[in-house]
Amino acid sequence: MTRGYSLPLSPEGRSSLVPAPPWHYVGDFLVIEYWADPDAVAAVLPEGIEPLADDPGRCAALFVDWQSCADSGDELLDPVRGQYKEFFIVVNGLLEGEPVTSCPYIWVDRDFALVRGWVQGFPKKLGSIHITRSFGLDCRAEGRTFAGTLAANDRRLAYGTVRPERVAEAGPTHNDPPLINRRHFPRLAAGRHDDPAVNELVRARSRDRSISEIRRGPATLELYEAPNEEHTALAPVGMGDGFRFQFAYTVDDLQSERDLTVPGTVKDVSRAGAE
C-alpha cells in the first residue's frame, strides 16, 4: 500500500514532492507597486472578479527569497528542500464588491514550490530568480539598492529595483487585499479537454503571521517579452514606491469561493469556517 500527501506516493510516504500541511514560510520581500493598462488587468481577472473601478490598473510585482518547512522542520536541516525564490504579479479587482487581488503570473525556481503552489491555485512556472541580499554590515558588498531578476527558458522576463530609504508608516497596499486565485486542473480524457476536473475560485488563508520593520523608497520595474509569455501586457504605465521587509506565516487551509466547472455559470460553494 502506498501513501503520502502528493505524488509520488510510496510505502512510507516520504517520497511525496510536497509534504502534508501545515506549511510554514518566512521570506525576504521586495514589493513594487505600480499601475498597468486597465484593459490588460481586466483581461487576466478570473471569472467572477470585476475590474477595480476607482483605481484601474493597480498591480504589484514581488520578488521573494523564501525558507519553508513542514511541521517536522526537517527541511531546515536539509536546506535544499525548503529554500526557493519566486517572482509574481498580482492585480486588483472586486469580488461581489469586496476588494481582492489575484495572481495571473508567477515563477519559482524549485519543483516542490511549483507543485505546492498548484495545490493552492497559484499558476506557477519554473524560472531562475536572483535577489540582492543584505547582511547588516557596513561594507561595500552590502545591499542598499535591492534588485531582483527573473529568467525562464534562457530569456530574461523581469527586472526590478527597490531603494528602501526610509521606514514606512504602513505597508504596501497594492498586494494587501485578500488573494483570490483560480484553481484549475485539466482532464486528458478524449472529448473532455475543455472540461477541467477542477475549476474554482479559492481564497488564500494563513495564520500565525509576523512581520518585520517595513522600509520603502523609489522603485523600478521592467518586463521583457518571450515567445511563450504574456506578462508584458501588464508592464508599468505608472510607478509607485517599493517596499522591503521580512514576513512569516503558516498555511494549512484554503477556502473555496466559487465553483466554475459548469460553463457559463458562477456557483457559490460552501464557505463553512470562513473568517
Q: Examine the pLDDT at 268 and tell me if it is beyond 60.
A: no
What pTM was estimated for this model as a whole?
Answer: 0.94
In the β-sheet with 254-259, what is the strand arrangement from edge to edge?
180-185, 198-204, 254-259, 267-268
d(C-alpha 64, C-alpha 77), whole Å: 21
Question: Which DSSP string do the residues of 224-250 spell out, in sequence order?
Answer: ---TT--GGGG--SEEEEEEEEEEEEE
pLDDT at 261: 86
pLDDT band at residue 203 under the 50/70/90 scheme: very high
The residue ranges of every structural domain in the chain are 24-268
pLDDT at position 263, please?
Answer: 58
pLDDT > 60? residue 267? no
Residue 111: phi and psi, rounded to 5, are -65, -40
- Per-residue cell: 226: 518571450
CATH T-level fold of 24-268: Acetoacetate decarboxylase-like (2.40.400)
pLDDT higher than 50, residue 275:
no
**Separation CA 193–CA 137 (nearest Å):** 55
* Average confidence score pLDDT of the chain: 94
pLDDT at 8 over 80: yes
Q: How does pLDDT run across 82-131, given as a tens digit for each residue? A: 999 999 999 999 999 999 999 999 999 999 999 999 999 999 999 999 99
Q: Rounded mean pLDDT of 128-141?
A: 96
Which pLDDT score is estimated for 262?
Answer: 64
Stretch 235-255: mean pLDDT, rounded? Answer: 98
